[in-house]
Amino acid sequence: MDNNLFDKAKMDELMIKYNFALQSLKTELNILIKEFEFNNKYNPVEHMKFRIKSEKSAIQKLKRKGYDVTIKNLVLHVHDMIGIRIVCSFISDVYDIVHVIKNSKIFKIKSEKNYIENPKDTGYISYHLIVIVPIYLNNNIEYYEAEIQIRTVAMDFWASLDHKIQYKFPNAIPNEVKEELYNCSLVIKELDQKMHKLNEKVNSL
């Protein structure tokens, strides 16, 4: 089989399968969140965003990782072709959603990274899950990966600014900007903790 990523027919087929997996994931997530809301009389999700990485972005990522540009390598090594961002109000909501996702009977957790407890050196804070999503085609089951990022509104605001800064400085971010961005992440983490405590206080009254 020719695994060349530029084989248009094979790439089109792969993208259709990623779309199937995304639709399955969206449906399951919406069901899980509605079930949580029904049981707890509270919806922890502010909003969700869904996307499939473009062919151009996938190629760039493979090259950055040092892999040959093939469909096989795309499937094996680009773990976020499907990307989902779930934004919550409070830190406790983030962990509630992580728990909900882990209880899914449809998809399985491949890996997780808790950047809330262990932020990146840049100051990035979020909770990441890589999940395996089954799709059913012609009596066969195929599995595709998706990355789910769960974060608070404040964390999402910081990540949005970080993305804009990285876009403006693609080669190297000036040290003074890096330092200020990191300091902002500390402020955001403190704000999230204060908002969490305030929410607990309000709920106890």
What is the separation, in whole angstroms, between the first and last Cα of the chain?
65
Give the predicted TM-score (pTM) of the model: 0.90
CA dihedral 154, 159, 161, 164 (to 10 degrees): -160
Q: Is 112 left (phi over 0), alpha (psi -120 to 50) or beta?
A: beta
Q: What is the DSSP string of 55-118?
A: HHHHHHHHHHHT--SBHHHHHHH-TTSEEEEEEESSHHHHHHHHHHHHT-SSSEEEEEEETTTS
**Is residue 3, in this structure, part of any structural domain at all?**
no
Q: Which of 55, 57, 58, 66 is nearest to 12 (CA)?
A: 55
**Is residue 16, in this structure, part of any structural domain at all?**
yes
Q: Which of 28, 46, 62 is nearest to 146 (CA)?
A: 28
Per-residue exposure over 133-166, b if at least 16 CB sit within 10 Å of its own CB, e if not: bebeeeeeeeebbbbbbbbbbbbbebbeebeebe
CATH number at residue 197: 3.30.460.10
**Is residue 1, in this structure, part of any structural domain at all?**
no
For 138-150, the pLDDT digits (tens) are 889 999 999 999 9
Tokens of 153: 């509104």
Tokens 């969490």 belong to residue: 196
Cα–chain-centroid distance for residue 97? Answer: 12
Domain that holds residue 47: 8-204
For 37-75, the pLDDT digits (tens) are 999 999 999 999 999 999 899 999 999 999 999 999 999
Name the band, by pLDDT with cuts 50, 70 and 90, for residue 4. Answer: low
- Cα→Cα distances 156→48, 52, 122, 126, 188, Å: 11, 19, 14, 8, 10
Residues 6+ apart with CB under 8 A from 98: 112, 127, 129, 150
Q: Is 109 left (phi over 0), alpha (psi -120 to 50) or beta?
A: beta
Question: Domain tally for the chain?
Answer: 1
Name the band, by pLDDT with cuts 50, 70 and 90, for residue 20. Answer: very high
**Is residue 189, in this structure, part of any structural domain at all?**
yes
